[in-house]
A and B are shown apart, each in its own frame.
Chain A
Amino acid sequence: MSEQILLELKGISKSFPGVRALDDISFQIKKGHIHALVGENGAGKSTLIKILDGIYRPDAGAMVYMGRQLSPRSPLDAQKQGISVVHQEIKLVDTLSVAENIFLGRPKTKHYLIDWRSIYKDAQDLLNSLDANLSAYAIVKELSIAQKQIVEICKAMSFNLELLIMDEPSATLTTKEQEVLFRTMRTLKAKGVTIIYISHRLEEIFNLADEVTVLRDGRLVGTSDVKNINRKQLISMMVGRDLENEYPKEKVEIGETLLEVKNLCRGRMVKNISFQLHSGEILGVAGLVGSGRTETARAIFGADKREKGSVIINGKELKGQSVAESIKNKIALVPEDRRRQGLILNMSVKENISLVGIDLVIKSKKINKALEKKMAHGFISKLRIQTPDEEREVKNLSGGNQQKVVLSKWLAVDSDVVIFDEPTRGIDVGAKAEIYRLLCSLAKEGKGIIMISSELPELLGMADRIIVMHDGKISGEVSGKDATQESILELAISR
């Protein structure tokens, strides 16, 4: 059986000052296949996409695309040749309609006037061809993320789409939305479109992809048929070593009640939430995006006002409704969006670590440089934060290391209860395992952990107990041992 090759990379290399981002990458992409591209953060996936998209030019090597030389000069040039990228961050104009977005910058005209009728008709045709239940007149602002991605795909299809590159499209989708996206991808495949698919979620790769190519540190590790490889092999290809146990859960004695939440209410997203958290316990919180998990965490933490109900920590009720009060009573929140909510990106590692516990490094009204440095050094070595030194701005660190900086900030004030909202989002496999180990060691120290996550395998692997939220309420509780993905989903989806 001879399968047609759509794209062949031959010895692609690209360097940036101080980094060899891609080193002699060669592999083939077969026409009409879904080809997964995986690797840890910093493996070179983004650089490779940017080369295909015409943003970067390779230093060496060649690309053969449909039998001819490919060297796109810009994203538009790439699109004209049938190559489109759907980025993780959606690039649509929120205030315009679906159709206007699809033909943005390329209006169809008739007698020098914009031919709206044909724009809306063509847009609707494209949407229908993907079986998307979506109107061309809808305003993009009102769409879900998955629907927005479909609009992006339609935009790509409005050029003669041959090769669609999707950069972690599922990272922020709910389970239901993911299904919509995956169905769309299969429809595209049936139409003969080739897809390069980037994801950190391994299950998806096994469900969707035909082949998988693994990059590590800018080098090609290998390309394989998905049929001929299992999960464990794929992980070891990505990490470069065998990951003994993805979830290093340890047995910890569960102690007395640390935190008690009673009848907590706030708006539509937090309704009558009650639960207890014990020392040494990892309490998982499952639920779809939008089920009120984050809002509950913020209300417990005092970041948003509680309308009703009480939060009791170490036997003391929090009355002040402020972040400062929660911090004083040793509650910590590691928020879901590191860059927007967790870190001051312009500040150094040191300054971020000391932000919450600044009083600990103040001596006679002055920030004591030596004390602050010592605090930073302590956490850099304890949590193995990879940074050249404590003065490096956190924005230059990788996602996993940034997450460790956020965590250090809270460990500095010796928090008893740590709420993690999506602790491993956008973090690569190796760093994930480290974060898991940290959760375990915190539990061993007798702290209470609340772990909000959309990744069910991680909840099942780590949590002692899982509460499931739906529509602002707790819809059920399962023990970590007996739970299955199905039983959790059942509770998470409306019945």
Chain B
Amino acid sequence: MGEKAQEQVQKGNFFKPIAAWFGNYPIALAVIGLSIIMSIMSSSFLSFNNIMNVLRQISMIAILAAGQFLVMVAGGIDISLGAVVGITGIVFSMGMVNLGMPPIVAGILAILVGAICGLFNGVQDAFLGIPPMIATLGTQSVARGLTYVLTNAYPISGLPESISFLGRGYLFSIPWPVLIMVVIFLIVGFVSQKTKFGRFVYASGGNSEAAYLSGIKVKKIKVLTYVIAGLLASLSSIILVSRLASGQPNAGLGWEFEAVTAVVIGGVSLAGGKGKIFGVLMGAILVGLLTNGMTLLNVNSYYQQMVKGLVLVFAVGLDVYQTRKRNKA
């Protein structure tokens, strides 16, 4: 009897941290569950190549989501990111094709344009007090419109072969986009958890008034998160252009939606101040797996869009419900 009780205690001690970990990241359970289902459906799912394939597919959305993560933790939201992918991709490709810039210069120019888009968003939100949903909706329209103006809605082709490795190449049999994604997530993880800037991002989103009265330059912090998000969107765009070997005016259409979905199901609160980058990575993987799985099952892509919409609403609903429950207790 006594032994049994002791055994239970030990067992409890063993499972408790694991259970607690999954309690923090319920999304990880969903990823594991979905992976099991996929591996039953398709025997090749768990192969190294396929896993890399899936990760490569999600990498661009995930990089976008990493920026969105910072913006949302600081209490904002950026729905212009898809359009920023569009405009920066065109700047990148036209820079090389029409202006004859070397790829590195065109890349820097594209990143600059992304940062400017972010600055524009940030100033609207933090300094002018325009609700971020509307501010970035405006930016979205401006950026996408500009993309069409510059291209007449025709793709830009004839890009130099030298950039293709970014989208299609491998390093030690790991695709470049996956490597870049991992590095970005490590950096954002470090910045958000270990640095003063990261702490201030959480504080600004958690309670901007209290943060301000603690000497934090809340407006500056918020603008910076938008700038970083714009910057990462252009990076994501450069990978996309390299992968498609052309600049598509429609590139990134609707990506902001997938990025927001990844961030929210990754456990970042819409109210700001909460969430971890690891959850966002899991969120991006879950969205990727869902797309992948539905494609494997031959689900029509229009239906796929509906399913993703439902997933977002469900995730936000869960967030709202949990917040309410916590406030009650």
Q: Which residues of A contact B (CB under 8 A)?
A: 16, 301, 303, 323-324, 326-327, 333, 335, 340-347, 351, 355-356, 358-359, 362, 365-367, 409
Which of B22-30, B48-56, B137-145, B208-216 interfaces with chain A? B208-216
Decide: A341 and B209 in contact? CB cutoff 8 A. yes
In the bound complex, residues from chain A placing their C-beta under 8 Å from that of B273 are: 344, 346-347
Of the candidates A342, A345, A359, A362, the one whose C-beta lies within 8 Å of that of B206 is: A345
Q: Report the bound CA distance from A356 to B43 in whole Å.
A: 55
Of the candidates B196, B200, B207, B213, the one whose C-beta lies within 8 Å of that of A303 is: B213
Of the candidates B211, B217, B329, the one whose C-beta lies within 8 Å of that of A344 is: B211
Decide: A335 and B207 in contact? CB cutoff 8 A. no
Q: Report the bound CA distance from A324 to B209 in whole Å.
A: 14
Q: Report the bound CA distance from A196 to B110 in whole Å.
A: 67
Decide: A343 and B212 in contact? CB cutoff 8 A. no
Of the candidates A345, A356, A359, A365, the one whose C-beta lies within 8 Å of that of B214 is: A356
Minimum CB distance partner of B327 in chain A: A395
Decide: B195 and A355 in contact? CB cutoff 8 A. no
Please list 16 pairs of residues, one from A and one from B, whose beta carbons are closer than 8 Å in the complex, sorted by A's number.
A16-B329, A301-B213, A323-B213, A327-B215, A345-B206, A345-B207, A346-B207, A346-B274, A347-B202, A347-B273, A355-B199, A355-B203, A355-B214, A359-B196, A366-B195, A367-B199
Decide: B199 and A333 in contact? CB cutoff 8 A. no
Of the candidates B196, B200, B202, B217, the one whose C-beta lies within 8 Å of that of A324 is: B217
With A344-B202, A346-B273, A367-B196 as contacts: A324 and B215 at CB distance below 8 Å: yes
Quote the shortest CB–CB distance from A484 to chain B (angstroms). Answer: 34
B194 at the interface (CB under 8 A from A): yes
Of the candidates B199, B209, B217, the one whose C-beta lies within 8 Å of that of A351 is: B199
Quote the shortest CB–CB distance from B276 to chain A (angstroms). Answer: 13
Of the candidates A343, A358, A365, the one whose C-beta lies within 8 Å of that of B210 is: A343
Decide: B213 and A346 in contact? CB cutoff 8 A. no
With A366-B194, A367-B195 as contacts: A347 and B203 at CB distance below 8 Å: yes
Count class of interface residues, chain B: 20 to 34
In the bound complex, residues from chain A placing their C-beta under 8 Å from that of B207 are: 340, 343-346
Quote the shortest CB–CB distance from B277 to chain A (angstroms). Answer: 16
User: Interface majority SS on A: helix, strand, loop or mixed?
Assistant: mixed
Q: Report the bound CA distance from A355 to B199 in whole Å.
A: 8
Quote the shortest CB–CB distance from A380 to chain B (angstroms). Answer: 19
With most chain A CB atoms within 10 A of its CB, the pick from B195, B200, B207 is B207
Minimum CB distance partner of A372 in chain B: B199
Q: Report the bound CA distance from A324 to B203 in whole Å.
A: 16
In the bound complex, residues from chain B placing their C-beta under 8 Å from that of A303 are: 212-213
In the bound complex, residues from chain B placing their C-beta under 8 Å from that of A358 are: 196, 199-200
With A366-B194, A367-B195 as contacts: A323 and B215 at CB distance below 8 Å: yes
Q: Report the bound CA distance from A402 to B10 in whole Å.
A: 36
In the bound complex, residues from chain B placing their C-beta under 8 Å from that of A324 are: 215, 217
In the bound complex, residues from chain A placing their C-beta under 8 Å from that of B194 are: 366-367
In the bound complex, residues from chain A placing their C-beta under 8 Å from that of B209 are: 340-341
Minimum CB distance partner of A340 in chain B: B209
Minimum CB distance partner of A367 in chain B: B194
With most chain B CB atoms within 10 A of its CB, the pick from A333, A355, A365 is A355
Q: Report the bound CA distance from A324 to B214 in whole Å.
A: 8
Of the candidates A16, A342, A347, the one whose C-beta lies within 8 Å of that of B213 is: A342
In the bound complex, residues from chain B placing their C-beta under 8 Å from that of A409 are: 214
Decide: A340 and B199 in contact? CB cutoff 8 A. no
With most chain B CB atoms within 10 A of its CB, the pick from A340, A347, A362 is A347
**Chain B window 271-300, contacts with chain A (Cβ cutoff 8 Å), 1 for yes, 0 for no:** 001100000000000000000000000000
Q: Report the bound CA distance from A343 to B209 in whole Å.
A: 9
Quote the shortest CB–CB distance from A368 to chain B (angstroms). Answer: 9
